[in-house]
Amino acid sequence: MDITLKSAAEIAQMREAGRIAAGVLEFIGPHMLPGAVTLELDEMMNDYIQKQGAVSADLGYHGYPRYTCISVNEVVCHGIPSTHRLRRGDIVNVDITVIKDGMHGDTSKMFIIGETSLRSRKLCECAQQCLYAGIREVYPGADLTQIGNAIQKIADKAGFSVVRDYCGHGIGRHFHEDPQVLHYRNQQSVILQEGMTFTIEPMINAGTWKCKISKKDGWTVTTADHQPSAQWEHTLAVTADGCEILTLRGEEKIPQHVVNLTKH
């Protein structure tokens, strides 16, 4: 395991990358409507990213063909924007990773298209609560295992499952760095230190946690049982007394600086 600690100057750069990534999600919100074509949303988001002086990290990453990931209903992650039109009742994850001055910012959220079923709404809410519970376990001296344990507890209580095939990740000059951040109950101990930067991005399924990858495109990940899936993601920096959310949006109630040494 080779975890790079970031300096204050590097975190300042990541704050800027994170701010732009969060801004993309705020920008696209009003366009997430019935009838929207996901390829057009992808193009609009890329125009926005370019105007901010950043670039998409997704395009060309291991051959990924588009600027963003848009994952609808039973798509768990890595949905490729296409000529598909959104419909009322869809639940949609938009996942954005940008590079600004060599640093990555990675974030995603769920959008509900019009109105959806109570169960789908609960799933989206649960996945966001899972992310927030994970964030509250991030402070120097904490163990990375606390994140997965906290998330699993919330998903279990709601009767949902936690995806095991994909995890959060260290982030900085590289898109995916050490450590791996598991979202399910685990014993992969890593003690957190100030200056670590990583994502938490729980994928929560209504039914089984098992997933499959499309044989057609090699990217699209769907639930094995075709039940819906929800995901929210933030990029975080471990601070002296907790963590800073580098990709916070204006609509969120959680503070940018989450203080958490009171636990000890």
Under the rule (CB under 5 A), what is the footprint of Co ion?
Answer: 95, 106, 199, 201, 233
> Over the range 160-191, which residues count as b (16 or more CB within 10 Å of their CB) and which as e?
bbbbeebbbbbbbeebbbebbbbbbebeeebe
Closer residue to ligand MF3 (CB): 58 or 177: 58
Closer residue to Co ion (CB): 115 or 232: 232
For the bound state, the minimum distance from the C-beta of residue 233 to Co ion, rounded and expressed in Å, comes to: 5
Which stretch in 10-18, 62-70, 83-91, 148-156 sits in contact with ligand MF3 by CB under 6 A? 62-70
- Among residues 16, 42, 95, 244, which is the contact residue for ligand MF3, using CB under 6 A? 95
For the bound state, the minimum distance from the C-beta of residue 151 to Co ion, rounded and expressed in Å, comes to: 15
Rounded to 5°, angle at Cα 92 from 23 and 14: 30
What is the rounded CA–CA span in Å between residue 228 and residue 124?
10
The footprint of ligand MF3 on residues 154-213 (CB under 6 A) is: 201
Closer residue to Co ion (CB): 38 or 199: 199
- Regarding 74 and contact with ligand MF3 (CB under 6 A), the answer is no
DSSP letters spanning 223-258: ETT---EEE-BEEEEE-SSEEEETT--TT--S-SEE
The helix (run of H) or strand (run of E) holding residue 25 is helix 8-28
Closer residue to Co ion (CB): 56 or 149: 56
Closer residue to Co ion (CB): 99 or 240: 99
Q: Give the C-alpha distances (Å, rounded to integers) separating 26 from 10, 43, 137, 167.
A: 24, 15, 26, 24
- Regarding 42 and contact with ligand MF3 (CB under 6 A), the answer is no
Closer residue to Co ion (CB): 42 or 106: 106
For the bound state, the minimum distance from the C-beta of residue 27 to Co ion, rounded and expressed in Å, comes to: 17
For the bound state, the minimum distance from the C-beta of residue 66 to Co ion, rounded and expressed in Å, comes to: 13
3-class secondary structure, 143: strand
What is the rounded CA–CA span in Å between residue 233 and residue 17?
15
Residues in contact with ligand MF3, counted by CB under 6 A, come to a total of: 11
What is the rounded CA–CA span in Å between residue 155 and residue 130?
7
- Among residues 15, 78, 109, 183, which is the contact residue for ligand MF3, using CB under 6 A? 78
Sign of the alpha-carbon dihedral angle for 125, 130, 131, 133? positive
For the bound state, the minimum distance from the C-beta of residue 58 to ligand MF3, rounded and expressed in Å, comes to: 3
What is the rounded CA–CA span in Å between residue 248 and residue 233?
10
Q: Which residue has the tokens 């732009």?
A: 20
For the bound state, the minimum distance from the C-beta of residue 96 to Co ion, rounded and expressed in Å, comes to: 7
Select from Co ion, ligand MF3, none the partner in contact with residue 61, using the beta carbon and a kind-dependent cut-off of 5 to 8 Å. ligand MF3
- Regarding 233 and contact with ligand MF3 (CB under 6 A), the answer is yes
The footprint of ligand MF3 (CB under 6 A) covers 58, 61-62, 64, 69, 78, 95, 97, 106, 201, 233
